[in-house]
């Protein structure tokens, strides 16, 4: 049976070119990059070349890149690292952040920033919520469940006003953004984005799982999560996962190179999906923002339909889709993202996430919608 | 030029059989293990099979195994996780622990357990140091710089006496052991060892770098370091690094299978090294314990010789050795392990670590010693 994978927001296969670049570091160049003999130093050089490449794609300096085991660790390093560096301070996180931002925030003084029905952060409300002890604001670039893109530049403008008011005596006011879902389709130049910290994730950009990095703008103060030999400039100890880092760098490079063409192509697929869906099943509701959406994520509510059952039936017909974030798939808790955009429990239980990627074709979309409409008619 | 690698304690190449088992999970089976469709559940099953395999090798239940990104994270999870679960308690760590145990301990009330000149924990002193608020003792199974094996079973006997005295009202008194250097040569059955927590490291057993696991005996209370989607039973969030976990499980399985034969073979190589060295350079001093030593690690002090220079000269002649732990190689700080066994600064600056592994042959040892004696004669 034909298999059509529509869950690229949950996982991507490794690009064969990425895997090819990783392979020497499993075998011939297995040396510890901290070893001082020549073969060790060659591995160190490859690692630092990868860091420079990631930095370049983010418009950053190599010293501003800390490699982590995935975006979850990067998000934890950002939130826990900063909150531990500034005791008794406060963190504000948007209500639609990934659990790896929300959960660490809960261990500190924290507030959740409300979002509109389209999932967009309310900047006026956010501004009012920022007290003098707020040190960190965390707003993801692309939401992983509904695809909404946040107005980071407007947030930065507002933060810059507040920073000016604080003056040099006040606390810093950092902006972190989880960009795990962004690199295939968005510019990640950190200065243009205006962020102080940015998390990226290899596992969503055709690189290895649990590869990731945190951009930490020079001067930002934070404490490491994982201590030891002092690797990653003291911010993430542990013998570097060389192959994984090489893979992340290659994956990011390819993603950014393919970005303009893929953003356009995948946005057309999403549009085709929406248009066909609205013809065949007009009751369906597309969640998120029509105007500010990532091209690859589409959240749809099918009123009256049980999403678990529909997902299983689609699976039986070769279509792999998600009921929400894979991270929550095992749990029975309703999606906090859909709840934050004011969907009620019945609507949440009737929602599916379709997400597209490099191997998704127009024919896949057509086949998916044919299958979907057959199931929905029964 | 012939290259002889004598730094297996710093890094091991991936076993080709291990890599072969990992490969499908980079490509065909790239799915997120939390995905609910069949292909995702097959990946989940492979992950859980790997967990069961690791558990079996440790004499544990699968639920007692938490996969981490390497032993450094596992050690941090053990120390930070327990110390955060028991505020105001105390941790005791041996003075020769790896930095990934020592450094996190420093953030809490902690004491260092002194060791003998052979690097062995002084159990009588340890017993006296354990106050009613001590909740964790961390003593590594095999020291990574001098190879000393700790008398864990005697420590457990002493701890059991103290536990009895505490009764059911007192704090628990957990024993953690960093076994990163152990699986190729030692039995890791956790009940026989008597440990409550045990860290293992794929990167030292011919598995992938930054693969690792923490055995956490059922009932042990600790807090997660990395929060988010709730993977690993809530103890280590982040989309599982499936290929890496599969690799770790396969590597541990092979290591434990080869263990009896390799322990004997490598111990003979070490003995050959020592005997030849003592004939050709009788001033050389072997550090560590003659009786309680891992077969693969040999720390030698060459009085009057600059270790950095000797290491470089050996490298030029194709011999890759370490001046100490690779984790410290970049820094100028003298080894805390050699300092703890009462070596003075000049002796520390004259010490090299040779470490052996699966590809090391008798001829390698002979060639290494010929080269070494030529250099030392000049």
Residue B33 sits in a domain whose CATH number is: 3.40.640.10
Report in angstroms the alpha-carbon separations of A213 from A44, A51, A67, B91, B97: 17, 9, 4, 31, 28
Number of H helices, E strands in chain A: 13, 12
Chain A, nearest residue to B330 by Cα: A34
Q: Please, are residues A297 and A142 in contact by the beta-carbon 8 Å criterion?
A: yes
Spell out, as residue ranges, where chain B has pLDDT lower than 70: 325-332
Question: Which of helix, strand or coil describes residue B145?
Answer: coil
Question: Which of helix, strand or coil describes residue B216?
Answer: strand
Per-residue confidence band for A287, with pLDDT thresholds at 50, 70 and 90? very high
Select the residue of B3, B104, B237 nearest A72 (Cβ to Cβ). Answer: B237
Whole-angstrom distance between the N-terminal and C-terminal Cα of chain B? 21
Residues in chain B within 8 Å Cβ distance of A26: 13-14, 19, 208
Last residue of a domain, one of B254, B285, B302: B254
B359 CB within 8 Å of a chain A CB: no
Same domain, A216 and A320: no
B234 CB within 8 Å of a chain A CB: no
Q: Which letter, b or e, does each residue of A221-232 get, where b requires 16 or more Cβ atoms within 10 Å of its Cβ? A: ebbbbbbbbbbb
CB within 8 Å of chain A, chain B residues 236-265: 237-244
The one catalytic residue among A165, A327, A329, A345: A327
Domain count, chain A: 2
Phi, psi dihedrals of residue A121, rounded to the nearest 5°? -60, 135
Alpha-carbon gap: B279 to the closest alpha carbon of chain A (Å): 27
Select the residue of A30, A101, A226 nearest B14 (Cβ to Cβ). Answer: A30
Cα–Cα distance measured from residue B48 to residue B137, given in angstroms and rounded to the nearest whole number? 30
The two tokens of residue B127 are: 């017993």
Tell me, what's the pLDDT at B245?
Answer: 98
Cα–Cα distance measured from residue B145 to residue B151, given in angstroms and rounded to the nearest whole number? 17
Q: Hey, are the CB atoms on B72 and A238 less than 8 Å from each other? A: yes
Q: Hey, are the CB atoms on B329 and A243 less than 8 Å from each other? A: no
Same domain, A128 and A72: yes
Residues in chain A within 8 Å Cβ distance of B75: 228
Same domain, A244 and A270: no
Tell me, what's the pLDDT at A334?
Answer: 85
Tell me, what's the pLDDT at A333?
Answer: 76
Q: Hey, are the CB atoms on A104 and B38 less than 8 Å from each other? A: no
Per-residue confidence band for A325, with pLDDT thresholds at 50, 70 and 90? low
Residues in chain B within 8 Å Cβ distance of A103: 227-228, 237
C-alpha angle B14-A206-A328 in degrees, rounded to nearest 5: 100
Cα–Cα distance measured from residue B196 to residue B194, given in angstroms and rounded to the nearest whole number? 7
Place of tokens 């130093």: A41
Number of H helices, E strands in chain B: 13, 12
Whole-angstrom distance between the N-terminal and C-terminal Cα of chain A? 21
Alpha-carbon gap: A331 to the closest alpha carbon of chain B (Å): 9
Cα–Cα distance measured from residue B87 to residue B67, given in angstroms and rounded to the nearest whole number? 25
Domain that holds residue A204: 16-254
Would strands A351-355 and A297-301 be described as parallel, antiparallel, or unpaired? antiparallel
Last residue of a domain, one of B202, B225, B254: B254
Residue A332: exposure state from Cβ atoms within 10 A (0-12, 13-18, ≥19) = exposed
Same domain, A119 and A199: yes
Average pLDDT, chain A: 96
Is B155 one of the catalytic residues?
no
Same domain, A286 and A308: yes
Q: Please, are residues A62 and A55 in contact by the beta-carbon 8 Å criterion?
A: yes
Cα–Cα distance measured from residue A82 to residue A66, given in angstroms and rounded to the nearest whole number? 14
Residues in chain A within 8 Å Cβ distance of B37: 7, 311-312, 315, 320-321
Phi, psi dihedrals of residue B194, rounded to the nearest 5°? 85, 15
Cα–Cα distance measured from residue A372 to residue A378, given in angstroms and rounded to the nearest whole number? 10
Select the residue of B72, B208, B312 nearest A226 (Cβ to Cβ). Answer: B72
Would strands B90-94 and B109-113 be described as parallel, antiparallel, or unpaired? parallel
Report in angstroms the alpha-carbon separations of A255 from A15, A69, B32: 10, 19, 20
Same domain, A8 and A76: no
Residues in chain B within 8 Å Cβ distance of A229: 72, 98-100, 325-328
Number of Cβ within 10 Å of residue A219's Cβ equals: 8
Q: Hey, are the CB atoms on A37 and B10 less than 8 Å from each other? A: no
Q: What is the mean pLDDT of residues A288-312?
A: 97
Residues in chain A within 8 Å Cβ distance of B329: 34-36, 40
Q: Please, are residues A239 and A231 in contact by the beta-carbon 8 Å criterion?
A: yes
- Number of Cα atoms under 13 Å in the Cβ half of residue B48: 11
B325 CB within 8 Å of a chain A CB: yes
How many beta-carbon contacts under 8 Å exist across A and B? Answer: 252
Last residue of a domain, one of B209, B236, B254: B254
Alpha-carbon gap: B174 to the closest alpha carbon of chain A (Å): 21
Cα–Cα distance measured from residue B31 to residue A263, given in angstroms and rounded to the nearest whole number? 23
Quote the radius of gyration of chain B (alpha carbons, Å). 21
Residues 6+ apart with CB under 8 A from B277: B284, B286, B300, B369, B372
Alpha-carbon gap: B251 to the closest alpha carbon of chain A (Å): 13
Residue A38: exposure state from Cβ atoms within 10 A (0-12, 13-18, ≥19) = middle
pLDDT of A331 strictly over 70: no
Cα–Cα distance measured from residue B38 to residue B29, given in angstroms and rounded to the nearest whole number? 11
Same domain, A320 and A222: no
Same domain, A348 and A247: no
Residues 6+ apart with CB under 8 A from A351: A287, A299, A300, A301, A302, A307, A323, A324, A335, A338, A343
Residues 6+ apart with CB under 8 A from B345: B334
CB within 8 Å of chain A, chain B residues 159-178: none
Same domain, B250 and B139: yes
The two tokens of residue A333 are: 């808790």
Q: What is the mean pLDDT of residues A189-216?
A: 98
Q: Hey, are the CB atoms on A19 and B26 less than 8 Å from each other? A: yes
Cα–Cα distance measured from residue A337 to residue B24, given in angstroms and rounded to the nearest whole number? 33
The two tokens of residue A228 are: 């030891």
Q: What share of chain A in percent tops pLDDT 90?
A: 95
Q: What CATH number corresponds to the domain at position A300?
A: 3.90.1150.10
CB within 8 Å of chain A, chain B residues 36-55: 36-40
Same domain, B126 and B270: no
Place of tokens 């009588």: B124
Same domain, A301 and A238: no
Same domain, B49 and B191: yes
- Residue B169 or A330, more confident: B169
Number of Cβ within 10 Å of residue A267's Cβ equals: 16
Report in angstroms the alpha-carbon separations of A225 from A178, A230, B7, B167, B321: 17, 11, 28, 34, 31
> How would you list the strands of the sheet with A197-201, edge to edge?
A65-68, A212-216, A197-201, A174-178, A134-138, A90-94, A109-113
CB within 8 Å of chain A, chain B residues 86-125: 98-100, 103-104, 107
ipTM of the complex: 0.96
B311 CB within 8 Å of a chain A CB: yes
- Where are any strands of DSSP class E within chain B? 4-5, 65-68, 90-94, 109-113, 134-138, 174-178, 197-201, 212-216, 285-287, 297-301, 319-320, 351-355
B341 CB within 8 Å of a chain A CB: no
Cα–Cα distance measured from residue B104 to residue A4, given in angstroms and rounded to the nearest whole number? 46
Report in angstroms the alpha-carbon separations of B79 from B142, B177, B213, B223: 18, 11, 14, 10
Phi, psi dihedrals of residue B295, rounded to the nearest 5°? -70, -20
Residue B367: exposure state from Cβ atoms within 10 A (0-12, 13-18, ≥19) = middle
pLDDT digits (tens, 9 = 90+) for A140-178: 999 999 999 999 999 999 999 999 999 888 999 999 999
Residues 6+ apart with CB under 8 A from A346: A303
The two tokens of residue B237 are: 């969030």
Residue B292: exposure state from Cβ atoms within 10 A (0-12, 13-18, ≥19) = middle
- Tell which residue, A129, A126, A131, A75, has the closest CA to residue A104: A75
- H or E segment and range at residue B269: helix B242-280
- Where are any strands of DSSP class E within chain A? 4-5, 65-68, 90-94, 109-113, 134-138, 174-178, 197-201, 212-216, 285-287, 297-301, 319-320, 351-355
Residues in chain B within 8 Å Cβ distance of A30: 11-14
Cα–Cα distance measured from residue A267 to residue B58, given in angstroms and rounded to the nearest whole number? 50
Report in angstroms the alpha-carbon separations of A220 from A68, A86, A174, B276, B368: 17, 11, 8, 54, 48
Picking from A9, A68, A226 by the largest number of B CB atoms within 10 A of its own CB, the best residue to mutate is A226
pLDDT of A329 strictly over 60: no
């Amino acid at each position: 049976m034909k298999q059509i994978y529509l869950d690229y927001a949950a996982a991507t296969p490794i690009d064969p070119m990425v895997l090819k670049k990783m392979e020497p570091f499993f075998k011939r160049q297995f040396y510890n990059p901290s070893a001082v003999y020549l073969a060790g130093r060659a591995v160190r050089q490859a690692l630092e070349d990868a860091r420079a490449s990631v930095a370049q794609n983010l418009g950053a300096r190599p010293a501003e890149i800390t490699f982590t085991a995935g975006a979850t660790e990067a998000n934890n390093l950002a939130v826990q690292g900063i909150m531990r560096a500034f005791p008794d301070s406060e963190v504000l996180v948007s209500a639609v952040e990934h659990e790896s931002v929300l959960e660490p925030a809960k261990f500190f003084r924290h507030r959740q920033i409300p979002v509109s029905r389209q999932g967009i952060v309310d900047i006026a409300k956010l501004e009012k919520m920022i007290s003098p002890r707020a040190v960190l604001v965390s707003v993801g670039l692309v939401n992983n469940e509904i695809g909404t893109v946040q107005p980071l530049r407007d947030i930065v403008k507002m933060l810059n006003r507040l920073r000016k008011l604080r003056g040099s005596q006040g606390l810093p006011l950092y902006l972190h953004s989880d960009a795990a879902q962004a690199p295939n389709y968005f510019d990640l130049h950190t200065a243009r984005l205006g962020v102080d910290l940015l998390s990226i994730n290899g596992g969503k950009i055709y690189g290895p799982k649990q590869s990731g990095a945190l951009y930490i703008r020079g001067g930002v103060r934070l404490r490491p999560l994982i201590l030891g030999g002092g690797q990653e400039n003291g911010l993430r100890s542990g013998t570097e996962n060389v192959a994984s880092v090489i893979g992340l760098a290659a994956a990011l490079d390819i993603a950014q190179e393919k970005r303009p063409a893929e953003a356009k192509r995948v946005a057309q697929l999403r549009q085709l999906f929406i248009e066909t869906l609205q013809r065949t099943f007009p009751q369906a509701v597309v969640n998120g923002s029509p105007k500010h959406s990532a091209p690859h994520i589409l959240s749809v509510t099918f009123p009256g339909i049980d999403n678990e059952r529909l997902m299983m039936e689609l699976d039986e017909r070769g279509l792999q889709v998600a009921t929400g974030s894979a991270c929550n798939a095992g749990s029975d808790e309703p999606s906090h993202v859909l709840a934050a955009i004011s969907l009620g429990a019945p609507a949440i239980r009737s929602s599916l996430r379709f997400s597209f990627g490099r191997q998704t074709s127009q024919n896949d979309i057509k086949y998916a919608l044919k299958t979907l409409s057959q199931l929905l008619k029964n």
